[in-house]
A and B are shown apart, each in its own frame.
Chain A
Amino acid sequence: MAAVTEDPRPGRLAALLVERSLDVQPGWQVSVRATPLARPLVSEVAKAIARRGAYFLPRIHWGPDRFRTDLDWALEAPLELLSELPPIARHAIETEDARLTIRSPEDVHAGAELDPERRALLQRAMEPASRRARSLDVRWAVVQYPTEAAAAEARMTLPEFEDFVYGACLLDWDAEEQRMQRIKERFDGAVRVRIVGGETDLTLSVAGREGIVSSGLRNMPDGEVFYSPVEDSADGVIAYSEFPAVYLGHDVEGVRLVFREGRVVESSATRGEDFLRQVLSTDDGARRLGELGLGCNPRITRFTHNVLFDEKIDGTVHLALGGSYTYAGGKNESAVHWDMVKDLRPGGELFADGELVQRDGRWLI
């Protein structure tokens, strides 16, 4: 049963997740993935789901939260079993009504021991789940739970990190929604979005695409306006020189990408270049952009090696290599979705159809 906790914040976060983010309905089947460390939150979520008259499918695991496959199993299983989930698990993924992933790592590098071949096969096994999520065929949310390992990764003590996580999550999301709505209105349908900064001058189009305001719905913390950019529109160069690009337990530093007609045609990194190349060659879609996001969470100001937070830093933009969100009009398909964050606060500029709308990370609209 519930671990004894006097901290009211897991309960408040659970209510936000179940009532606002997932909006769980009676009779729904809701899967919840977490490690044992997230017990106080899982326990509150279980009760909140029960109170809504819905079913709870706990999936407690010890591996990385990206894969739906047990890590110990995946390290030893015959390769031919890895690329598809067992039929029963696949049926569950195709049938569940809502899905909550609670990131609560014991080890932020869990899963890094998987060799590239196994990792790619597991990514492929995830594809049916990813497809449903990207098209919003299933209600889903991802939340961070403060663990020691995640705190260390963020270079914070656990109490500091708890304050940071709950501070960024427990916001007045209706008010945030209104603020982000104004940003969306400026970008909706823009033919030319231009990002300028250190070693960076990239243009892309969101013509015909509508922005999605993320106000406490699918990510927790939330706080971004994002687009699926027109797939063949990215042109120019972007250097992620301020922050490393973090994916699957790897830190890749100094990533520089050159785009022509939407495709990455040159790529380099000062550290982790091999991993970058591996990910880019996962499938065709991995070389194209699946997302342009504008970070808007006022409580997130520092980089923490955790993309869930970093992509929300007020005054940053992020571009994701790989699969796009079909509910945002995107058409790019890939097993990869790698958000890379560009800090515009030190001398960056953002233009919408030629008008300067943000300078040094501060909105001018």
Chain B
Amino acid sequence: MSDARVTAYARLLVERCIDPEPGWQVLVATTTEARPLARELSRQLAGRGAYALTRISWGAAFPVDLDWIAAAPGELAASLPPLERRVLEEVDGTIFVLAPERDLPRLDDGGARAFRAHVSAYRDRGRAGEIPSVRCDFPCAAYADRAELTLAELEDVFYDACLRDWDEEGRRMQPVRERLDAAREVRIVGKGTDLRLSLDGRSALVDDGHLNVPGGEVFTSPVEDSLAGEILFDVPSHSTDGLVEEIRLRFEHGDVVEAAAAAGEPALLRALATDAGARRVGEFGIGCNSGITRPMRNVLFDEKMAGTIHLALGAGFPQLGGRNESALHWDLIKDLRGGGELQLDGVVVQRDGEWLP
């Protein structure tokens, strides 16, 4: 049974995110779980006169081959075949569709490092803005389980969040960006939360479905040593090694000085110990996607939820003035809808997740 939404989703990825010219070579990397979308992407790239270089793997968290990575000798495991490196140097666009299987194998430390090296190699040129690139999801059983929804329910939420009029969404988010650009100080107040941070000299960016799908956030990198106060992140979040809930952080001069979690605290502490930059914040973002109304334990969606804000521990965005460097970039989400305020330079601009005029 073909789902018209898959066609529309593929159109968004091909036409808005990549917008290929005839003769372009576009890498499509995904897993067997995303087969209907992979096939539709092939057809639509063909329709645009572009080549589809399809890389299908089994359902790893990122589409690379875990069997080989787990069995290859240390140094080799972390390196890409020279042929594939050349592919990545020459492609004109990349589409990464994540669709993991239910039972993902656990890699040992070496395997996990090799896996991260492969992911970076695939994503580097897109992240640096050299070529059009999109990283997105496909609704599959593993994501439905995680969101505690049936697959059909997940598909409804998923496509509602992704298949929007993104030009219109972009226009709607523009005033939020202007407010952030003009603001020097942000204060977030809510349950277990009173945190200040500075945006002085930093610029914000609107994600209107070009960089991520779904889009729907306005984000920037705060001044690194400005964070002061405490915050309770009430939306559960997956770190690289497990689910963490009810994270409490206290900041002084930009550094995390106290950290606790109701569940998964060891994973939180391991993440904070990644490197020096992991204890600082690289991103402050405001969720603006009104198609997402409840957390799905998938950060790509949860961070876009209208009425929430998020802070990312770790790497910032140099193109927005951010200076924090880290191998970590972990978005933690605070829901402001059940009693929270967002203040810019002392003025309340959002209360209980609703923007004030």
Is residue B300 within 8 Å, beta carbon to beta carbon, of the partner chain? no
Which of A60, A62, A76, A96 is within 8 Å of B46, CB to CB?
A76
C-alpha spacing A72/B87, complex, angstroms: 21
- Does the CB pair B81–A75 fall under 8 Å? no
- Does the CB pair A1–B43 fall under 8 Å? no
- Does the CB pair B25–A88 fall under 8 Å? yes
| 8 A Cβ contacts from B83-124 to A | 83-84, 86-87, 90-91, 105
C-alpha spacing A53/B45, complex, angstroms: 35
- Does the CB pair B66–A92 fall under 8 Å? no
- Does the CB pair B70–A1 fall under 8 Å? yes
| A-B pair number, CB within 8 angstroms | 113
- A81 / chain B contacts, CB cutoff of 8 Å: 23, 46, 49, 51
User: A-contacting residues of B (Cβ < 8 Å)?
Assistant: 22-23, 25, 32, 35, 39-40, 42-43, 45-47, 49, 51-58, 65-73, 76-77, 80-84, 86-87, 90-91, 105
Which of A49, A53, A86 is within 8 Å of B53, CB to CB?
A86
| 8 A Cβ contacts from A1-60 to B | 1-2, 29, 36, 39, 42-43, 46-47, 49-51, 53, 55-58, 60
C-alpha spacing A47/B321, complex, angstroms: 44
Give chain A nearest CB distance to B94 CB in angstroms: 12
C-alpha spacing A42/B47, complex, angstroms: 32
- Does the CB pair B83–A95 fall under 8 Å? yes
* Chain B binding surface, main DSSP class: helix
- Does the CB pair A46–B65 fall under 8 Å? yes
Give chain B nearest CB distance to A86 CB in angstroms: 4
By beta carbon, the residue of chain A nearest B111 is A1
Which of A70, A78, A91 is within 8 Å of B86, CB to CB?
A91
Knowing A1-B105, A56-B65, A81-B51 are in contact, say whether A50-B42 is a contact too (CB < 8 A): no
- Does the CB pair A77–B87 fall under 8 Å? no
By beta carbon, the residue of chain A nearest B32 is A36
- Does the CB pair B56–A1 fall under 8 Å? no
- Does the CB pair B25–A87 fall under 8 Å? yes
Give chain A nearest CB distance to B142 CB in angstroms: 14
C-alpha spacing A89/B91, complex, angstroms: 11
User: B-contacting residues of A (Cβ < 8 Å)?
Assistant: 1-2, 29, 36, 39, 42-43, 46-47, 49-51, 53, 55-58, 60-62, 70, 72-78, 81, 86-89, 91-92, 95-96
C-alpha spacing A49/B67, complex, angstroms: 10
* Chain A binding surface, main DSSP class: helix
Knowing A47-B68, A50-B68, A60-B57 are in contact, say whether A78-B42 is a contact too (CB < 8 A): no
Sample (24) of A-B pairs whose CB atoms are under 8 Å apart: A29-B82, A43-B58, A43-B67, A46-B65, A50-B76, A51-B71, A55-B76, A55-B80, A55-B82, A55-B83, A55-B84, A58-B57, A60-B57, A61-B54, A61-B56, A72-B42, A72-B46, A73-B51, A73-B54, A75-B46, A77-B46, A78-B22, A81-B46, A86-B51
- Does the CB pair B87–A92 fall under 8 Å? yes
Give chain A nearest CB distance to B39 CB in angstroms: 5
- Does the CB pair B53–A89 fall under 8 Å? yes
C-alpha spacing A89/B56, complex, angstroms: 15
Which of A50, A73, A78, A87 is within 8 Å of B52, CB to CB?
A73
Among A42, A70, A96, find the residue whose CB has the most chain B CB atoms closer than 10 A: A70
- Does the CB pair B56–A60 fall under 8 Å? yes
C-alpha spacing A88/B86, complex, angstroms: 8
By beta carbon, the residue of chain A nearest B104 is A1
- A51 / chain B contacts, CB cutoff of 8 Å: 71
- B105 / chain A contacts, CB cutoff of 8 Å: 1
Knowing A61-B54, A88-B53 are in contact, say whether A75-B43 is a contact too (CB < 8 A): yes
- Does the CB pair A88–B35 fall under 8 Å? no
- B54 / chain A contacts, CB cutoff of 8 Å: 61, 70, 73
